[in-house]
């Protein structure tokens, strides 16, 4: 079925030679709840009410799609409580080395996330949406097999999207390009690299090592070595930590966000928007009983999104319909990955199947 | 761009050997602008470009996105294969005619006005603070790689290159100047961003003197010349992880910095001493230096503030 791409079973052989990369527990572990925390400041709720009323109106303002409108005035808008929460969360998530710079780091994440975003979702004509879905799905499988970190996958797909817009690649070389993007992402993010010969094996020796390295140079030159990317996962963990989300909500959001990699419409959204939408949808799908503390925390986390509600809603629609048909698609690597017991079987959650009901909840 | 690199950039002249290989002035045939081409030959094995090169160049590209006024623009990067074992990485920088060395040489007697020095120092420290806050150290700061545009804007060049080049440095035995090196580097102890502050201090003094402050001929000689000015540091400040013993140096006491830099004012002398502090942990940081009272009196005409 995945004609040009090698099958899973075929590809599983050489993996045994690689030592699994040590997974940093603190990064992978879902955000822990801290129920004893008391909320003295509820100012976040005021912002949330505008958030929900905006959703109720269903107002889709095109001009807010590309920029985080709230960003300019973010510093003025956020209650000091939120700032404190952001600083704590970044430190807890090990995203920063020094707590003193946490707030600057957050502002920089917000500011720089748009630098590397794509201006449009245009792809070369021969790279159809179907081809793209097959390639990305295959890369998700290879990524999982190589035990890479989740960040590496997001970077790889980001590099793939940008490469396709910047360099000319024939249809025959698309798989090679995908592999090279994953390889480069690994060079940027991973401690342990697979051998190039192993990567060629995974492609059933369709390409030589020489071709792979030539493609590596081509991609690096095309991108001018610009490999920076702020992965949406960082934003997801940050939001989830502030919102005190349960592990299940976080796993569900991670699944939904991974589905966005397959959706070509999602290319133009900012990492923070993807993370916000995934988390929001996850909560709606799981419908966990709410507590006053939990709601307050959620309000606070949501206040980061002030101004981008229509975009969030749009992304939630895309993700909801992707999740509804995920189980029946041929390209179901993420569905399988997130159906395991470690991921709390989130992809098999019954609420996901009924897209219309999900969409109804969102509007 | 790999294939077009040779065509897009037309070499005009060789500009200086540089510690890391030849640097060319070239013309961008698309824009007509002059650029500086710096090439690094990187050893490549069967796994392609080394991780360190990929990461370091990617970091330079990331810095570039901030568009800092006191840092030289990195306009393009290309990688071309030379042999199976070697890849040439070409970094295309904006070209600035003049470096601080020629700028100081061209300045007629009696030298730069104090306000001009203050402005240059402020810009230099702004650039450094930016690099340091992004965890990049220069490691080889000297007047030759501090560029000064015709409008008087300071731009740091060659930062972050040391690490890209270091893997193949052994191949080209080059004499790197010792004059701006801090004690911890001369002693081969561990070092971090304070190295650049030491060099900045040396350059600060040189702006007044119009000649270098410490002109050593070997590591030991360089250290000796440093101690003649700042005095032999106490035993407890001497790093423990070095082979060169403190006993090798005569127990000299510090002399007044104004003996060596007579034109400097009082605040300037204070700041200079904080930069030329033996212990890197006690040395002032770029950010704190910018807040020093030397910069806080009357507003000088600045090209850039960031």
Encode pLDDT of A319-348 as tens digits.
999 999 888 888 899 999 999 999 999 999
Residue whose pair of structure tokens reads 């420290």 in the numeric block: B125
Q: What is the pLDDT of residue A352?
A: 87
Inside any domain, residue A322: yes
Q: What is the pLDDT of residue B18?
A: 58
Q: What is the pLDDT of residue B51?
A: 87
Residue in B47, B76, B79 nearest the CB of A217: B79
Q: CATH number of the domain at A170, please.
A: 1.10.472.10
pLDDT at A38 over 50: no
* ipTM score of complex: 0.73
CA-CA distance, B303 to B172, in Å (whole number)?
38
pLDDT at B302 over 70: no
In 3D, which of B187, B200, B93, B78 has the Cα closest to residue B142? B200
Residues of chain B with CATH 1.10.510.10: 100-294
End residue of a domain, out of A174, A193, A222: A222
Comparing A18-32, A78-92, A100-114, B149-163, the range with the smallest average pLDDT is A18-32
Residues A288 and A141 in one domain: no
Inside any domain, residue A63: no
Contact B77 A220 (CB under 8 A): yes
Inside any domain, residue A337: yes
Residues A108 and A236 in one domain: yes
Residue B52 at interface with chain A, using a CB cutoff of 8 Å: no
Residues A130 and A98 in one domain: no
CA angle, residues B200, B202, B207, in degrees to nearest 5: 90
Note down the domain range covering A179.
118-222
Q: How confident is the model at residue A95 (pLDDT cuts 50, 70, 90)?
A: confident
Task: Find the DSSP H helices in B100-218.
Answer: 100-106, 114-133, 161-166, 183-186, 194-209
CA-CA distance, B200 to B294, in Å (whole number)?
15
Comparing A112-126, A224-238, B159-173, the range with the smallest average pLDDT is B159-173
Percent of chain B with pLDDT over 90: 53
Residue B77 at interface with chain A, using a CB cutoff of 8 Å: yes
pLDDT in tens, B201-256: 999 999 999 999 999 999 999 999 999 999 999 999 999 888 899 999 999 999 99
In 3D, which of A23, A39, A27 has the Cα closest to residue A244? A39
Q: What is the pLDDT of residue A103?
A: 80
Q: What is the mean pLDDT of residues B98-111?
A: 91
pLDDT at A56 over 50: no
Structure-block tokens of residue B264: 């400097």
Q: How confident is the model at residue A15 (pLDDT cuts 50, 70, 90)?
A: very low
Q: What is the pLDDT of residue A94?
A: 77
pLDDT in tens, A175-210: 999 999 999 999 999 988 999 999 999 999 999 999
- Average pLDDT in chain A: 78
What homologous superfamily is domain B9-94 in, according to CATH? Phosphorylase Kinase; domain 1 (3.30.200.20)
Inside any domain, residue A323: yes
Inside any domain, residue A8: no
CA-CA distance, A272 to A303, in Å (whole number)?
12
In 3D, which of B155, B120, B116 has the Cα closest to residue B138? B155
Comparing A14-18, A234-238, B26-30, the range with the smallest average pLDDT is A14-18
Residues A209 and A250 in one domain: no
Residues A92 and A240 in one domain: yes
Contact B46 A221 (CB under 8 A): no
Contact A224 B1 (CB under 8 A): yes
Residue whose pair of structure tokens reads 């990195």 in the numeric block: B74
Residues A165 and A285 in one domain: no
Q: How confident is the model at residue B182 (pLDDT cuts 50, 70, 90)?
A: very high
Residue A218 at interface with chain B, using a CB cutoff of 8 Å: yes
Q: How confident is the model at residue A358 (pLDDT cuts 50, 70, 90)?
A: low
Burial of residue A239, with CB atoms counted within 10 A of its CB: 0-12 exposed, 13-18 middle, 19 or more buried: buried
Residues A358 and A240 in one domain: yes
Structure-block tokens of residue B290: 């910018």
CA-nearest residue to B87 within chain A is A217
Q: What is the pLDDT of residue A98?
A: 60
Bin B18: left if φ > 0, else alpha if -120 < ψ < 50, else beta: left
CA angle, residues A168, A171, A175, in degrees to nearest 5: 95
Q: What residues of chain A lie within 8 A of the CB of B1, using their CB?
A: 221-222, 224
Judge whether A242 and A301 are in contact, CB under 8 Å.
Answer: yes
End residue of a domain, out of A222, A247, A276: A222
Q: What is the pLDDT of residue B176?
A: 62
Q: Which residue has the higher pLDDT, B74 or B21?
A: B74
pLDDT at A114 over 90: no
Q: Report the helix count and the strand count for chain B, using DSSP H and E.
A: 11, 7
Residue whose pair of structure tokens reads 């949501």 in the numeric block: A302
Inside any domain, residue A51: no
Shortest distance between the Cα of A217 and any Cα of chain B, in A, equals 6
Shortest distance between the Cα of A222 and any Cα of chain B, in A, equals 6
Contact A225 B57 (CB under 8 A): yes
Q: What is the pLDDT of residue B109?
A: 84
Give B296-302's long-range contacts (Cβ < 8 A, gap of 24+).
B297/B267, B300/B115, B300/B118, B300/B119, B300/B122, B301/B115, B301/B119, B302/B119, B302/B122, B302/B123
pLDDT at B142 over 50: yes
Q: How confident is the model at residue B179 (pLDDT cuts 50, 70, 90)?
A: very high
**Catalytic choice (B140, B221, B259, B279):** B140
Q: Which residue has the higher pLDDT, B46 or B98?
A: B98
- The helix (run of H) or strand (run of E) holding residue B36 is strand B34-43
Cβ-based contacts under 8 A for chains A and B? 71
Residue B76 at interface with chain A, using a CB cutoff of 8 Å: yes
Residue in A115, A213, A224 nearest the CB of B48: A213
Residue A118 at interface with chain B, using a CB cutoff of 8 Å: no
- Average pLDDT in chain B: 86
CA-nearest residue to B80 within chain A is A217
pLDDT at B131 over 50: yes
Q: What is the mean pLDDT of residues B45-70?
A: 88
In 3D, which of A190, A137, A124 has the Cα closest to residue A163? A124
Contact B47 A193 (CB under 8 A): yes
Q: What is the pLDDT of residue B118?
A: 96
Contact A196 B47 (CB under 8 A): yes
Shortest distance between the Cα of A273 and any Cα of chain B, in A, equals 22
Q: What is the pLDDT of residue A233?
A: 93
Indicate which of B1, B50, B129, B306 best probes the interface with A, i.e. most A CBs within 10 Å of its own CB: B1
Structure-block tokens of residue A216: 């590596």
Q: What is the mean pLDDT of residues A4-28?
A: 37
pLDDT at A120 over 90: no
Contact A221 B1 (CB under 8 A): yes
Strand segments, DSSP code E, in chain A are none
End residue of a domain, out of A192, A222, A252: A222
Beta bridge partners of B25: B13, B36
> Is B158 annotated as catalytic?
no
Residues A234 and A251 in one domain: yes
Residues of chain B with CATH 3.30.200.20: 9-94
- Show Cβ contacts of residue B241 under 8 Å, excluding neighbours closer than 6 positions: B189, B190
pLDDT at A44 over 50: no
Inside any domain, residue A1: no
CA atoms within 13 A on the CB side of A195: 11
Q: What residues of chain B lie within 8 A of the CB of A209, using their CB?
A: 46
Question: Can you name the CATH fold of B100-294?
Answer: Transferase(Phosphotransferase); domain 1 (1.10.510)
Highest mean pLDDT among A71-80, A193-202, B85-94: A193-202
Q: What is the pLDDT of residue A35?
A: 35
A119: number of Cβ within 10 Å: 9
Residues A251 and A275 in one domain: yes
Residues A90 and A171 in one domain: no
CA-CA distance, B124 to B129, in Å (whole number)?
9
Q: What is the pLDDT of residue B226?
A: 96
pLDDT in tens, A203-245: 999 999 999 999 999 999 999 999 988 889 999 999 999 999 9
pLDDT at A70 over 50: no
Residue A226 at interface with chain B, using a CB cutoff of 8 Å: yes
Residues A153 and A300 in one domain: no
Inside any domain, residue A170: yes
Provide the domain count of chain A: 2
Q: What is the pLDDT of residue A79?
A: 67
pLDDT at B20 over 70: no
Residues A165 and A274 in one domain: no
Shortest distance between the Cα of A325 and any Cα of chain B, in A, equals 38
Contact A217 B47 (CB under 8 A): no
């Amino acid at each position: 079925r995945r004609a040009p791409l090698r099958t899973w079973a075929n590809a599983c052989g050489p993996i045994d030679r690689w030592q699994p990369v040590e997974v940093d527990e603190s990064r992978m572990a879902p955000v822990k709840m801290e129920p004893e925390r008391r909320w003295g400041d509820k100012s976040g709720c005021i912002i949330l009410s505008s958030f929900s009323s905006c959703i109720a109106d269903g107002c889709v303002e095109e001009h807010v799609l590309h920029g985080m409108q709230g960003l300019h005035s973010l510093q003025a808008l956020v209650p000091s409580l939120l700032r404190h929460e952001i600083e704590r969360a970044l430190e807890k998530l090990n995203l920063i080395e020094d707590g003193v710079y946490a707030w600057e780091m957050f502002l920089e994440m917000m500011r720089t996330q748009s630098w590397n975003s794509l201006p449009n979702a245009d792809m070369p004509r021969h790279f159809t949406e179907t081809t793209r879905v097959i390639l990305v799905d295959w890369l998700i499988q290879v990524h999982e097999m190589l035990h890479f970190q989740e960040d590496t996958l997001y970077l790889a797909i980001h590099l793939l999207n940008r490469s396709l817009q910047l360099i000319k690649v024939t249809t025959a070389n698309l798989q090679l390009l995908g592999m090279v993007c994953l390889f480069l992402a690994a060079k940027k993010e991973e401690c342990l690299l697979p051998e190039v010969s192993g990567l060629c094996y995974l492609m059933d020796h369709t390409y030589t090592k020489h071709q792979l390295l030539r493609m590596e140079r081509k991609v690096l030159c095309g991108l001018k070595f610009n490999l920076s990317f702020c992965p949406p996962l960082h934003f997801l963990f940050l939001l989830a930590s502030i919102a005190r989300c349960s592990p299940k909500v976080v796993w569900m959001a991670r699944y939904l966000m991974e589905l966005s990699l397959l959706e070509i419409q999602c290319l133009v959204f900012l990492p923070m928007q993807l993370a916000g939408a995934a988390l929001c949808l996850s909560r709606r799908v799981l419908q966990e009983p709410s507590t006053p503390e939990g709601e307050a925390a959620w309000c606070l986390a949501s206040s980061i999104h002030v101004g981008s509600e229509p975009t969030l809603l749009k992304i939630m629609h895309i993700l909801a319909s992707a999740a509804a048909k995920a189980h029946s698609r041929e390209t179901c690597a993420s569905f399988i990955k997130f159906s395991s017991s470690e991921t709390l079987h989130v992809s098999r959650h019954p609420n996901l199947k009924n897209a219309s009901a999900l969409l109804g909840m969102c509007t | 761009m790999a294939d077009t690199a040779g065509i897009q950039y037309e070499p005009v002249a060789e500009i200086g050997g540089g510690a890391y290989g030849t640097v060319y002035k070239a013309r961008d045939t698309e824009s007509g602008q002059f650029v500086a081409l710096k090439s690094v030959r990187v050893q490549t094995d069967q796994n392609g470009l080394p991780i360190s090169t990929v990461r370091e160049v990617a970091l330079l590209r990331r810095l570039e996105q901030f568009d800092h006024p006191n840092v030289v623009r990195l306009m393009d990067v290309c990688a071309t294969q030379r042999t199976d074992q070697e890849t040439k990485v070409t970094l295309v920088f904006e070209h600035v005619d003049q470096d601080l060395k020629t700028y100081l040489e061209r300045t007629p007697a009696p030298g730069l006005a104090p306000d001009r020095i203050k402005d240059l120092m402020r810009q230099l420290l702004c650039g450094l603070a930016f690099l340091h806050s992004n965890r990049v150290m220069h490691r080889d700061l000297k007047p030759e790689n501090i560029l000064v545009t015709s409008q008087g804007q300071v731009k740091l060049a060659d930062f972050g290159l040391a690490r890209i080049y270091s893997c193949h440095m052994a191949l080209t035995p080059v004499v790197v100047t010792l004059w701006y090196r801090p004690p911890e580097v001369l002693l081969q102890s561990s070092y971090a961003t304070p190295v650049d502050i030491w060099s900045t201090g040396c350059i600060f003094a040189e702006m007044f003197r119009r000649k270098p402050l410490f002109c050593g001929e070997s590591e030991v000689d360089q250290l000796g010349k440093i101690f003649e000015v700042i005095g032999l540091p106490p035993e407890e400040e001497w790093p423990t992880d070095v082979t060169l013993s403190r006993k090798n140096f005569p127990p000299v006491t510090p002399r007044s910095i104004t003996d060596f830099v007579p034109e400097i004012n009082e605040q300037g002398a204070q700041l200079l001493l904080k930069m030329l502090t033996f212990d890197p942990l006690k040395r002032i940081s770029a950010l704190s230096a910018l807040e020093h009272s030397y910069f806080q009196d009357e507003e000088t005409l600045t090209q850039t503030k960031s």
